[in-house]
Amino acid sequence: MPASLEDQRFAQQKATVFHPISAEDKTAMAGLRAIAEPNKGRLRGTAARQPFDAIMEHVTVPKNVIFEAGIVGAVPGWWSKPKGAQPDAVVLHIHGGWFNWGSAKAYRNLVGHLAIHAGACAFSPDYRLAPEHPFPGAPQDVRACYAGLIELGYKKIAVTGDSAGGTLALGLLLSLAASQSDNKVVPVAGVALSPITDLSLSGTSWTTRAAADPYFIQLQAAELVRSYLNGADPIEPAVSPLRADLTGLPPIRIHVGNDEVLLDDSVRLVDRALAAGVDAQLDVWQGMVHGFLGSVGHLTASTRALQQIGSFLSERFTKTTAKRQAYRRTNQE
C-alpha cells in the first residue's frame, strides 16, 4: 500500500544527507575546476574514449588489491580482489562514460577502492558501448554478467555503478525485481553514483547547475544519449529508471555532488523510490562535481563517501548471511 503524502515527506526529510565541504577540499576543488573548465563539453563521440580512459587511469592505485582480467557470463571485464575478501560475496560494478566511453580496465583502481571498503571482490564488465552497440546491448550484457556471477557460486551480490553505469545498475535491479520469482539469487543492495536516471534530460539541475558543473553541457549529453538510444524512446521505463515502477528494489544508496547537472536525476529517483516503499537514501556532497570519488587520496569527501558506501554494502552482506543462517536453523528444528 503506498505511503501517505505526510509519511512520504517525513521519509524524504530523513533520507537525504547533506555533507558540507571541508576547507581543504574547497581549495582542492578550485584547482580541479581550473583544469577541467577549459575543456567543458568538449568530450564527444568515440574520439573521447582514449582521453576519458586516461583520466580514469590516474585514480590512485589501491593497496593490497589484485587485478585480473576475466570473463563472467560471456562478458569480458576486470576483477578487483582485495586481501581478506569475503569468499561468497561480490560487487558487480558497472563503469560510467555516458554509454559511449569507459572500460573496466581504466576503472579498475576506483573499483578496487570500492572493493576494499566493501570487503568483497568486485567484477566490472566491459559491456558493449554505443554507437557501435546501442540500446539494449549494454543492459543485456549487464544482465548476463549478473547471471554469470551466480553460476560462479556467489550467493551475495551487490550491484553498483557510476554515471551511465549507475543507470545500468538501477536498470538491472529493476529488471531483477520485476522477475523476482525467477531469480536464484536476489541482489542484497544497490549503490549508484551520480546516475543518469532520466535520459530525456528534463531535470531542473541542467539549468540550475549549468554554471557550477565544470564538465558537461546539455548539448554534449544529448548527443551521447542519442547515440546510445538509436531511436529508442528516452521516457521508456527500460531506458530511464526514473520512469519505471520502483517497487521491489533492494535497499539503495545514491551519492551525488551538489555542483553537477545530474543532481536532479538523483533527487527525483530517491523521492520516487521512497514513495514506492524502498529503503533508499540520498547523499548530497556539497561543492563536489561529477565523479568526485575518483579523487580518492586527494579529497576528504571521496574517502568519506567510499567509507560510507563500503559500510553499507558490508552491512548488507552481513545481514544476508544472518538471515540465511536463521532460515537454516528454523528448517533444521
Q: Which residues are catalytic?
A: 163, 260, 290
Residue 70 to residue 19: CA distance in whole angstroms: 37
Task: Please give the full DSSP string across 98-134, using - where no structure is assigned.
Answer: TTTS--TTTTHHHHHHHHHHHTEEEEEE-PPPTTTS-
- In the block, cell 554469470 appears at 148
Residue 77 to residue 90: CA distance in whole angstroms: 14
CB 284 within 8 A of CB 263: yes
Query: What's the order of all strands across the beta sheet hosting 156-162?
Result: 16-19, 280-285, 252-257, 189-193, 156-162, 86-94, 120-125, 75-82, 65-72
CB 71 within 8 A of CB 94: no
H helices, E strands: number in the chain = 10, 9
| Among the listed residues 245, 87, 56, 70, the one whose alpha carbon sits nearest the alpha carbon of residue 145 | 70
Quote the longest CA-to-CA distance of the chain. Answer: 67
Q: Which three cell numbers stand for residue 90?
A: 561480490
